[in-house]
């Protein structure tokens, strides 16, 4: 096997070029299989839509594969499906994300298809209405899922719908219903630009040819440098508890947490390790061990620390029997308090650090994993040697660091508690139910 394919991507094995219009290309050759993968992102997303337009970025992303200057809907599908490839586009808060997976022999043609979709979409009216109906059905289904409702209410409670971190990326019935074709056209014209965009490629390709092909397809794409979107950092009072009533459901879902850290925060790695201990390692960490296994209070229980560019959240989620909501909430909050008040044992800390460092080489065994890592490194300005430095960043976290960040960010009294499911029974109803 090619030694480059088994070693971690490093500065000497990554080709990095920034075009004059601000688009950056990263390529890592891997000639062990005849496949190539591209993962990329434009710096346009839900942050650039008004609250009344919630879902606009996602709508635009969904329309890109439904018609462009040189590929109508049928031609696009033929170009991709006839060669057994995939080409996807999706929206996130800060980005329009896209990807290609194909045989290496078809890869360069698909770069041309991708460029046409991103640069010259036509937004055909009949497909706008088809996609709108699909999205409205998806929103209806989302509103019937207890886990989705709890997660959405949690973010809305922390940030509010006026903040991009508090809105549903797919929007709402009223906002998606109101979007018009000119809204989509305007968003594309205003927000789609190569400046700051990243294309990361891994696979059986020649790096120089990749750069030349991308330059030919994207190099004359003009850069618009308008004012970047800005929004205030929100800090609503904590200690809030809300319930979303969903009659007829047999399960309740819980989301408990608070504001976390943004990706560039110095506490990022300490929070990552602490979160692994709390609700990720093994059978979902302490939450899985205590709340689910030992106490039998949850069907599932885990934690997540999500670090965005401007802010973050740290929370626990659980699916429970409606009768066990209160006990499960108390148990999760107790684990928050324990992590912040007691030093984690050396063995437990070492196990989580070994997991977090050991999983990285596994994710890099595929071209998809390599392309994703390259994109992440460039997007957040981590440096081409990030994968070499990552183990020391994780292993440098101490037990005191874990206790400190847990005490700072997961204060039980300051947490937001959101539940979604049947209305809780009062004492009389509960007694009758148990009889």
- In 3D, which of 354, 394, 384 has the Cα closest to residue 8? 384
Are 26 and 199 in contact, with CB atoms under 8 Å apart? yes
What residue spans define the domains of the chain?
12-218, 241-434
Burial class (CB in 10 A: 0-12, 13-18, 19+), 348: middle
Q: What is the pLDDT of residue 215?
A: 98
DSSP letter for 294, please. I
**430 or 189, greater pLDDT:** 189
pLDDT tens digits along 336-355: 999 999 999 999 999 999 99
d(CA 109, CA 87): 12
Sign, CA torsion 49/152/315/364: negative
pLDDT tens digits along 213-246: 999 999 999 877 656 677 777 888 778 999 999 9
DSSP annotation string for 295-314? T---SEEEEEEEE-SS-EEE
d(CA 399, CA 403): 6
DSSP letter for 161, please. T
Give the predicted TM-score (pTM) of the model.
0.92
Instruction: Check pLDDT > 90 for residue 432.
Output: no
Question: Of 16-25, 197-206, 286-295, 416-425, which gets the smallest average pLDDT?
Answer: 416-425
Q: What is the pLDDT of residue 429?
A: 53
Token pair of 8 as six digits: 């971690």
Same fold, 12-218 and 241-434: yes
Q: How confident is the model at residue 2 (pLDDT cuts 50, 70, 90)?
A: very low
Burial class (CB in 10 A: 0-12, 13-18, 19+), 400: exposed
CATH architecture of 241-434: 2-Layer Sandwich (3.30)
Token pair of 373 as six digits: 């890592």
- In 3D, which of 224, 252, 240, 411 has the Cα closest to residue 333? 411
Beta strands in 297-407 (DSSP E): 300-307, 312-320
Task: Give the H/E segment covering residue 352.
Answer: helix 346-363
Spatial neighbors of 28 by CB under 8 A, at least 6 apart, are 4, 9, 13, 14, 15, 201, 202, 207, 370, 371, 374
Q: Assign domain 12-218 to a CATH class.
A: alpha beta
Portion of the chain with pLDDT greater than 90, in percent? 91
d(CA 305, CA 260): 7
416-421 sheet: strands from edge to edge: 241-245, 416-421, 252-259, 312-320, 300-307
- Mean pLDDT, residues 156-171 taken together: 95
Question: Of 25-34, 115-124, 235-244, which gets the smallest average pLDDT?
Answer: 235-244
Distance of CA 365 to the CA centre of its chain: 21
Exposure of 312 in the CB half-sphere (CA atoms within 13 A): 21
35-42 sheet: strands from edge to edge: 15-18, 24-29, 198-203, 35-42, 96-103, 86-91
pLDDT tens digits along 30-41: 999 999 999 999
């Amino acid at each position: 096997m090619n030694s480059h394919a088994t070693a971690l991507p490093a500065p000497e094995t990554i080709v990095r070029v920034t075009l004059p219009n601000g688009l950056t290309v990263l390529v890592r050759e891997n000639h062990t299989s005849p496949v190539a993968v591209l993962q990329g992102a434009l710096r346009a997303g839900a942050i650039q839509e008004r609250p009344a337009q919630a879902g606009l970025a996602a709508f635009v992303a969904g329309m890109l594969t439904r018609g462009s200057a040189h590929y109508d809907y049928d031609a696009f599908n033929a170009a991709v499906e006839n060669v057994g490839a995939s080409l996807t586009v999706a929206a996130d808060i800060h980005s329009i994300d896209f990807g290609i997976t194909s045989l290496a022999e078809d890869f360069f043609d698909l770069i041309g298809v991708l460029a046409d979709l991103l640069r010259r979409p036509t937004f055909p009216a009949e497909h706008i209405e088809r996609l709108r109906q699909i999205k409205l059905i998806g929103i209806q289904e989302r509103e019937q899922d207890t886990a989705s409702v709890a997660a959405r209410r949690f973010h809305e409670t922390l940030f509010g719908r006026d903040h991009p971190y508090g809105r549903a990326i797919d929007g709402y019935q009223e906002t998606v219903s109101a979007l018009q074709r000119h809204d989509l056209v305007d968003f594309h014209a205003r927000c789609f630009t190569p400046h700051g965009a990243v294309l990361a490629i891994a696979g059986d390709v020649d790096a120089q040819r990749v750069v030349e092909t991308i330059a030919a397809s994207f190099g004359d794409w003009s850069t618009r440098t308008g004012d970047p979107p800005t929004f205030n950092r929100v800090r609503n009072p904590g200690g809030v508890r809300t319930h979303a009533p969903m009659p007829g459901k047999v399960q309740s879902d819980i989301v408990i947490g608070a504001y976390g850290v943004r990706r560039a925060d110095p506490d990022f790695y300490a929070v990552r390790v602490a979160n692994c201990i709390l609700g990720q390692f093994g059978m979902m960490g302490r939450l899985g061990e205590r709340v689910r296994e030992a106490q039998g209070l949850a069907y599932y229980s885990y934690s997540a620390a999500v670090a965005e560019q401007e802010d973050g959240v740290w929370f626990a989620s659980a699916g429970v029997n409606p009768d066990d909501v209160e006990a499960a909430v108390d148990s999760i909050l107790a684990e928050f308090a324990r992590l912040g008040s007691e030093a984690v044992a050396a063995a437990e800390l070492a196990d989580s650090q070994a997991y977090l460092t050991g999983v990285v080489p596994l994710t890099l065994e595929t071209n998809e994993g390599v392309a994703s890592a390259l994109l992440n490194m460039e997007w957040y300005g981590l440096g081409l040697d990030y994968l070499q430095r990552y183990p020391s960043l994780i292993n440098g976290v101490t037990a005191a660091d874990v206790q400190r960040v847990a005490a700072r960010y997961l204060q039980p009294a300051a947490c937001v508690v959101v539940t979604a499911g049947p209305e809780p029974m009062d004492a009389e109803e509960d007694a009758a139910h148990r009889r």
